[in-house]
């Protein structure tokens, strides 16, 4: 079978590896249909997020068809269309036992596409607790957005603004920014979206919830959306990981700043203001107890229009074009500006699903 391997920064390649089989009683083998390219994959490929083990198969946002099951598997059958939850946890370590499964201390060796062979492959091996059967009417493409949405719901649980009329801002109109916009709007909060890339902005316009607008800069957003050039910032979701220092002086008293990007940036902030203005600055990563099933339901019920966020689909052998579509140029070994409208890019493993 084929697998997209991470070797080193900027060095990914398709390799022929041994097929996977259900060996243990609860094993499930999935023939991958689609796998979304995540910011994490781009970070690994470009060296911005040096988390992956050399030689690992990348990919973690996938759906597919069950092709083999272990003898004790009860919840799925061969032929079922499934969504894969790619982040198992041990349930036994201190983090797992204190409601922090996203920081499981035994993650190493189990995290798909980072330390465990992931889903940019013809086959993926998991266990029955980490697959969910998709109803007939829900596409395998839509299902790939379950994992990123689950990460967002994890963050959303921590965001408790003082009022639903909070002046809220989401920076970055990639898949994470758009999913935050949708999730916040379910909570009754209507944020403004800010995206400096014209190609990202153009795509975002096509899949916003009612009442939400997207702008290329903060000034325009404040004056046009809030009709106030000094519009306070009660809630900020920063998907770029680069704006804390710049926006810090503008944060309203009692405001919340959520940072979810995985790019390094050292900043300096005034800690006196942190207390004096009752500011909350926080981060969030991965899935929490129940967030994956919550995300699955929101997509299955059509509450979040997941498939609309998909801008491109490429077969595995065109993975370089797929990464380039979101600005990760593996051939030139650099991040570039994108020219076409884009959001979530999928790699297709099996044609015609
Ligand atoms: Zn992801
Ligand atoms: Zn654990």
Q: Domain ends where: 283, 313, 330?
A: 283
Query: For 205-251, how does the pLDDT look when each residue is reduced to its tens digit (9 = 90+)?
Result: 999 999 999 999 999 999 999 999 999 999 999 999 899 999 999 99
* Percent of the chain predicted with pLDDT > 70: 99
Q: How far is the CA of 161 from the centre of ligand 2 (A)?
A: 30
Asked whether residue 74 carries a pLDDT value surpassing 70, the answer given is: yes
Q: What is the total count of domains within the chain? A: 2
The reply to whether 167 falls in a domain is: yes
Q: For ligand 1, a single-atom ion, which residues have Cβ within 5 Å?
A: 38
Q: What is the CATH number of the domain that holds 90?
A: 3.90.180.10
Strand partners, 334: 329
The reply to whether 298 falls in a domain is: no
Q: What is the pLDDT of residue 107?
A: 86
Q: What is the pLDDT of residue 163?
A: 82
Mean pLDDT value across the chain:
95
Same domain, 174 and 308: no
Q: How far is the CA of 19 from the centre of ligand 1 (A)?
A: 24
Alpha-carbon span 35 to 86, nearest angstrom:
11
The reply to whether 342 falls in a domain is: yes
Unique residue bearing structure tokens 């995540």: 38
Residues in Cβ contact with 345 at an 8 Å cutoff, skipping those fewer than 6 apart: 36, 37, 310, 311, 312, 313, 314, 322, 323, 325, 326
Q: How many CB atoms lie within 10 A of CB 31?
A: 18
Same domain, 241 and 188: yes
**H-helix or E-strand spanning residue 64:** strand 61-69
Residues in Cβ contact with 250 at an 8 Å cutoff, skipping those fewer than 6 apart: 232, 233
Q: Domain ends where: 253, 283, 313?
A: 283
Same domain, 110 and 234: no
The reply to whether 291 falls in a domain is: no
Asked whether residue 351 carries a pLDDT value surpassing 80, the answer given is: no
DSSP 8-state symbol, 264: -
Same domain, 134 and 175: no
Ligand closest in space to the Cα of 94: 2
Query: For 169-207, how does the pLDDT look when each residue is reduced to its tens digit (9 = 90+)?
Result: 999 999 999 999 999 999 999 999 999 999 999 999 999
Q: How far is the CA of 284 from the centre of ligand 2 (A)?
A: 17
Q: How far is the CA of 96 from the centre of ligand 2 (A)?
A: 4
User: Lowest-confidence range among 66-80, 81-95, 156-170?
Assistant: 156-170
Q: How far is the CA of 138 from the centre of ligand 1 (A)?
A: 20
Asked whether residue 77 carries a pLDDT value surpassing 90, the answer given is: yes
Sign of the four-CA dihedral 152, 153, 156, 158: negative
The reply to whether 67 falls in a domain is: yes
- What's the domain range around 190? 154-283
Same domain, 11 and 113: yes
């Amino acid at each position: 079978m084929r697998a997209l391997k991470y070797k080193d920064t900027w060095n990914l390649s398709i390799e022929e590896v041994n097929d996977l089989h259900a060996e243990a009683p609860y094993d499930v083998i999935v023939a991958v249909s689609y796998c979304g390219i995540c910011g994490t994959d781009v970070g690994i490929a470009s060296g911005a997020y040096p988390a992956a083990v050399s030689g690992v198969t990348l990919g973690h946002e996938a759906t597919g068809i069950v092709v083999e099951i272990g003898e004790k598997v009860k919840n799925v059958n061969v032929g079922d269309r499934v969504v894969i939850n790619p982040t198992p946890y041990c349930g036994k370590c201190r983090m797992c036992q204190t409601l922090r499964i996203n920081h499981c201390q035994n993650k190493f060796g189990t995290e798909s596409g980072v330390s465990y062979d992931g889903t940019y492959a013809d086959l993926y091996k998991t266990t029955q607790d980490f697959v969910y059967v998709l109803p007939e009417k829900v596409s395998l493409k839509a299902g790939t957005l379950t994992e990123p949405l689950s990460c967002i719901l994890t963050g959303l649980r921590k965001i408790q603004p003082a009022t639903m009329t909070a002046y809220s801002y989401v920076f970055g109109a990639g898949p994470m920014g758009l999913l935050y916009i949708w999730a916040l709007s379910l909570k009754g909060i209507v944020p403004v979206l800010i995206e400096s890339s014209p190609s990202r902005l153009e795509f975002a316009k096509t899949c916003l919830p009612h009442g939400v607008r997207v702008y290329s800069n903060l000034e325009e957003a404040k004056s046009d959306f809030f009709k106030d050039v000094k519009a306070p910032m009660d809630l900020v979701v920063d998907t770029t990981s680069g704006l804390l220092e710049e926006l810090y002086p503008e944060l309203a008293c009692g405001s919340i700043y959520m940072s979810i990007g995985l790019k390094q940036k050292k900043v300096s902030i005034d800690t006196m203001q942190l207390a004096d203005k009752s500011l909350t600055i926080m981060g969030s990563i991965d899935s929490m107890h129940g967030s994956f099933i919550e995300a699955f339901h929101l997509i299955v019920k059509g509450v979040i229009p997941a498939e609309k966020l998909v801008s491109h689909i490429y077969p595995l052998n065109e993975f370089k074009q797929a990464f380039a579509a979101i600005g990760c140029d593996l051939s030139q070994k650099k991040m570039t500006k994108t020219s076409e409208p884009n959001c979530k890019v999928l790699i297709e493993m099996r044609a015609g699903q």
